[in-house]
Amino acid sequence: MYKTLWNRDFILLTLSNFLLCITYYSLISTLPVYLADSLHADKSAIGLVLAAYTIASVTVRPVSGFALDKFGRKMILVSALTLYSALFIGYMFALSIALITVLRFMQGLGWGISTISGSTVAVDIIPNEKRGEGIGFYTLSTTLGMSVGPVIGLLLVHHGSYLIMFAGMLVISIIAIVCAGIVKIPQNIPHAANMSFNLHNLFEPRAVLPSINLLIIMTAYGGLLSFVALYGKEIGVQDTSLFFLVFAAGIAISRITVGKTFDKSGPAVILTFCLLLDILGFAVLALLKNPFGYFISAILIGFGNGVVFPVFQTMVNNVAEPAHRGAANSTLYTALDLGMGAGMILIGFISEHTSLSLAFLCCAVICFVGLAFFRFRVLSDYLSKTLQTKH
């Protein structure tokens, strides 16, 4: 086990995740336009292609957690990255919606396994006493990839072609494989070779309550990402894309600054404070209805939400046995995906029958429910389990 956070393997793994996220978010921003312009796909067909990725990712997460715990981390990580990367070759030659849908589904499998594998290996590498700080920096690489990826993808398309963009993403993803392949897994991390395939080993029981809590909060976040640009146009914001830039800045600031606080004082104060910021941010977004409130809410919600996932990930890894970290992380990621999906549906339904302003006010209520669940149920359970783990 390393004694310092910024060791060679942590840097390589974080770089690998950053590069992986560049390719993922680059494709998210460019593929819908490619489908519409080059293959003349309608909106329903584009939606089907995008949904195939999400369905594959959600489906494979529990199984990938089991595989990590049973067969070991590195083989699964490198294999998943290789599958994910190789499919970029397919995009260069796919000339039908059906074939691209298949490619997206297969790549969704690779993405789902890669993200859980990388997170689990990161926890294995990070020193126990710096786990909160380390997870904060590791997840920051996702935020940076989310910010840089669309820019790189669109630049390659505008100054080259879609073929060059696909080739560029292939090269970047290969570098990600190389970085991950060099990483050395600590020798003291066990894996349960005799583990049987059953529900108990697919989902880590100790991670269930924090995962439910995350699902509740991510419902609000999923609704925000889906409808905030549309809401911006309704209230007269000229450039709604700036919301995401300010939002990403808030996430980055929080993940850089709060990790050490968790390691010193635990999740109670920091998560309570950040969820209160989320509640305030959604209220400002819903009630002010002007560009000033729009961008103020972006920094408030960004800072608050930037803490949520790293804190819950640190919590579940603090209480899970090392041999079951794969299942613990897959349980949490499954909750993340389900919450995001539920938010898209729920906030869409509410806004359809009322207004987007009221829908975002409901997001504030959802965050309040998440805060209450954390304070009155999850926190006490976490504290008791950490005591058991220490003894």
Predicted confidence (pLDDT) per residue in 248-290, tens digit: 889 888 888 877 777 788 899 999 999 999 999 999 999 999 9
pLDDT at 46: 80
Cβ atoms of residues 371 and 272 within 8 Å: yes
The token pair at 332 is 């949490």
CA-CA distance, 24 to 16, in Å (whole number)? 12
> What integer pLDDT is reported at residue 21 of this predicted model?
92
> Can you give the pLDDT at residue 268?
92
Task: Please provide the average confidence, as pLDDT, over all residues in the chain.
Answer: 87
Do 8-184 and 203-390 agree at the fold level? yes
Q: What one-letter code names the amino acid at 377?
A: R
DSSP code at position 240: T
Q: How confident is the model at residue 65 (pLDDT cuts 50, 70, 90)?
A: confident
Please report the pLDDT score of residue 389 as a whole number.
61
- Predicted confidence (pLDDT) at residue 391 exceeds the cutoff of 60: no
Question: Tokens 């804190």 sit at which residue?
Answer: 311
Look at the alpha carbons of 182, 187, 193, 196 in this order and tell me if their dihedral is positive or negative. Answer: negative
**Residue pair 67/201 in contact by the 8 Å Cβ criterion:** no
Tell whether the model's pLDDT for residue 231 goes beyond 60: yes
pLDDT tens-digit series, residues 102-124:
999 999 999 999 998 998 899 88
Span 58-82, average pLDDT: 84
Q: How far apart are CA 295 and CA 154, in angstroms?
A: 24
**Mean pLDDT across the stretch 344-370?**
92
- Cα 222-57-227 angle, rounded to 5 deg: 20
Cα–Cα separations (whole angstroms), residue 299 to 9, 230, 295:
32, 18, 7
Q: Where are the domains of the chain?
A: 8-184, 203-390
What is the distance between the alpha carbons of residues 159 and 164, in angstroms, rounded to a whole number?
A: 9
Tokens of 289: 């209805």
Q: What DSSP assignment string belongs to 278-343?
A: HHHHHHHHHHH-SHHHHHHHHHHHHHHHHHHHHHHHHHHHHHS-GGGHHHHHHHHHHHHHHHHHHH
* H helix intervals, the chain: 8-38, 43-71, 73-93, 97-125, 131-159, 162-182, 199-202, 208-234, 241-257, 259-265, 267-288, 291-319, 325-353, 356-373, 379-390
| SS3 state at 203 | coil
Residues 6+ apart with CB under 8 A from 326: 64, 65, 66, 67, 68, 69, 73, 116, 117, 120
CATH (residue range 8-184): 1.20.1250.20
**pLDDT in the model for residue 114:** 93
Q: Are 12 and 154 in contact (CB under 8 A)?
A: no
For 166-186, what is each residue's pLDDT tens digit? Answer: 999 999 999 999 999 999 887
* C-alpha to C-alpha distances, 205 to 131, 132, 271, 380, nearest whole angstrom: 21, 21, 22, 16
Dihedral of CA 380/259/341/203: which sign?
Answer: negative
The answer on pLDDT for 205 being more than 60 is: yes
| CA–CA dist 94, 296 (Å, integer) | 43
Task: Give the number of other Cβ atoms within 10 Å of residue 28's Cβ.
Answer: 15
- The reported pLDDT for the residue numbered 34 is 86
**CATH architecture of structural domain 203-390:** Up-down Bundle (1.20)
